[in-house]
Amino acid sequence: MESLDKVDLVHIDDNGVFKYVLIKVPHTDDNEEEDILNYKIYLRGYISCDYHANVVRKFREEVGNDVPMECIGGGRIEKNNAGKKITVYGYSQEFGQANHSLSAEMLKKKYPDFHVDFSNDGY
């Protein structure tokens, strides 16, 4: 899974309202004396995807079919570049609600100049 080290943890479209998912991928930490299996969480969101499953499919195309993964929830993201604001909310009918608090923290790291908030309400 060396190639996953080069995959961004967060990748979302530039502006607008779109569906997003959190995806958990097993990751072996090679820095330890013994290989320790843990996980990396990836956040993806795209305007072009009408369904959360399409976002997962796009991530699978990005990393390859042989990479084990689990979608651990979804929702929506509203990204407003002009107002420098990102709002995370809603849920996925197929995968359930993502941990929006975790998603917001990941987005804050990726977009430090934006105000990022979340709500567990809405669809």
Catalytic residues: 52
Asked whether residue 43 is assigned to any structural domain, the reply reads: yes
Asked whether residue 48 is assigned to any structural domain, the reply reads: yes
* Residues 17/78, Cβ–Cβ less than 8 Å: yes
For residue 79, what are the domain limits? Answer: 2-118
What does pTM read for this prediction? 0.90
Asked whether residue 13 is assigned to any structural domain, the reply reads: yes
Asked whether residue 27 is assigned to any structural domain, the reply reads: yes
Asked whether residue 91 is assigned to any structural domain, the reply reads: yes
Asked whether residue 123 is assigned to any structural domain, the reply reads: no
DSSP H helical ranges for 16-120? 52-63, 100-110
Task: State the total domains in the chain.
Answer: 1
pLDDT tens by residue, 28-69? 665 555 556 689 999 999 999 999 999 999 999 999 999 999
Query: What CATH number is given to the structural domain containing 101?
Result: 3.50.20.20
State how far the Cα of 31 lies from the Cα of 5, in Å rounded to an integer.
Answer: 13
pLDDT tens by residue, 64-95? 999 999 999 999 999 999 999 999 999 999 99
Among 28, 34, 16, 31, which Cα is nearest to 80's? 16
